[in-house]
Amino acid sequence: MSGVRDGDRTGVWRRTRDARRHTMAALASAVVAAGAATGVMTAAGDDGRTTARPDTSASPVLQPLPAVPTRSVSPSASVTPSPSPKPSRTARRTPAPATSSERPAPSAARPTALYRHPQSQVLDWVGAHRDDPRRPLIESRIAAVWFPAYNPGAVTGQVRSVTAAAEAVGRTPVLVPYAIPDRDCGGASEGGAPGLDAYDAWMEDFAAGLGGGPVIVILEPDAIALSDCLTAGRRADRFASLARAGRTLHAANPRARVYFDGGHSGWHAAAKQAALLREAGAAADGDGVFTNVSNFHSTADETAYARGVLAALGGPPGLGAVVDTSRNGNGAPAAGEWCDPSGRALGRAPTTDTGLTGIDAYLWVKLPGESDGCKGSAGSFTPDYAYELASG
């Protein structure tokens, strides 16, 4: 079901409006109840690829992006900056790996109240459409905050605006840095930093905004699973940079939980993905893996797959997995269907209390309602799509 179009005032709409509102009210109650159970007022093809990555040619303020940073965390520049001279590798400030005494014991297994930033594409739309019959259901969401722009000099303050607000209310934010060079292998969401030296410096700026409270970092979706477009040498350089990112984030905030890209159950075999993760430092410099970001595979399939990846990764103890459940309520669509496929639904509500050993959290990393590029422009918030997922 596509939902009711904005501005539709036809007789058919009027005749069905009351029935739709009744249905949506019941659905909204269920979603809000699920959010309350997590301690949160929620906002939130298979061709082997995750989808709906941001178009970085324009500012998130002007052009909507997937799980876009809020206005307070969005860069003000309207275009991606031109590459600046690459800093010398010897001049990089990347810290040494954190020692065991610097990092507390893993704590993600304990239930954590997740944080919803008070502004987002969803809430912008909600504020402007208070009378829309889809609003009650669409309003009930929780999602991660993405940082898709290469914006040296600005990202520290953007990250800190989120983490400081989360600390103030005793909740845990979910942050998604997404600026790796050669992002999306030149696909629809290409972009990122101009080079790995620049990326390393950007990541140091990102980490400087983490503060001292608990935080979950979903490190660079697709950066590992979708790395086969790179030569062996460039892939090794990327993986070394991801390992440095893990060390940088932990050194800046020992309470950060950093998860590396695990792809999803319909992509690489668990053993292959684990081998890639090991090369990228996930075992030594991360706290585990994330799977299913922007995809649709069932929670049962993903938890089994994630456990397989962790087992093949071989430790150390305490590594866990995060599963994106934002659009997997009805499982995966037919093979080859990845762009806003019909018949999908919201999955399990976000929580860090999964009841499963090794599965640290179910999160809505991909913001429900943001298009893969078929129901709207890639990354744009589409009310009809949000309603379809919420009522599916």
Helix (H) or strand (E) holding 122: helix 121-128
- What Rg do the C-alpha atoms of the chain give, in angstroms? 20
Exposed, middle or buried by CB within 10 Å (0-12, 13-18, 19+), for 78?
Answer: exposed
pLDDT of 382 reads 85
CA distance 251 to 306: 26
Q: What gap in Å lies between CA 92 and CA 197, rounded to an integer?
A: 8
Reported as a pLDDT band with limits 50, 70 and 90, residue 115 is confident
d(CA 158, CA 147): 9
Q: Which amino acid is at 175?
A: L
Instruction: Read off the pLDDT of residues 333-357 as tens digits, 9 standing for 90 and up.
Output: 998 898 999 999 989 988 999 999 9
pLDDT (0 to 100) of residue 209 = 98
Q: Is the per-residue pLDDT at 13 higher than 70?
A: no
Residues 244 and 372: their CA atoms lie apart, in Å, by: 30
Distances 147 to 56, 91, 275, 325, 362 between C-alpha atoms, Å: 10, 25, 27, 20, 20
Give the number of other CB atoms < 10 A from CB of residue 148. Answer: 27
pLDDT at site 37: 28
User: What 8-state DSSP symbol labels residue 90?
Assistant: G
DSSP assignment string, 243-263: HHHHHHHHHH-TTEEEEEE--
Which stretch of 32-36, 105-109, 283-287 has the lowest confidence by average pLDDT? Answer: 32-36
Q: List Cβ neighbours of 103 (8 Å cut-off, separation of 6 or more).
A: 250, 254
The dihedrals phi and psi of 359, each to the nearest 5 degrees, come to -105, 100
Per-residue model confidence as pLDDT tens digits over 208-265? 999 999 999 999 999 999 999 999 999 999 999 999 999 999 999 999 999 999 999 9
Residues identified as active-site: 184, 222, 372
Q: What pTM was computed for the model?
A: 0.74
Distances (CA, A) of 74 to 29, 102, 134, 307: 31, 31, 26, 35
Burial grade of 214 (CB within 10 A; 0-12, 13-18, 19 or more): buried
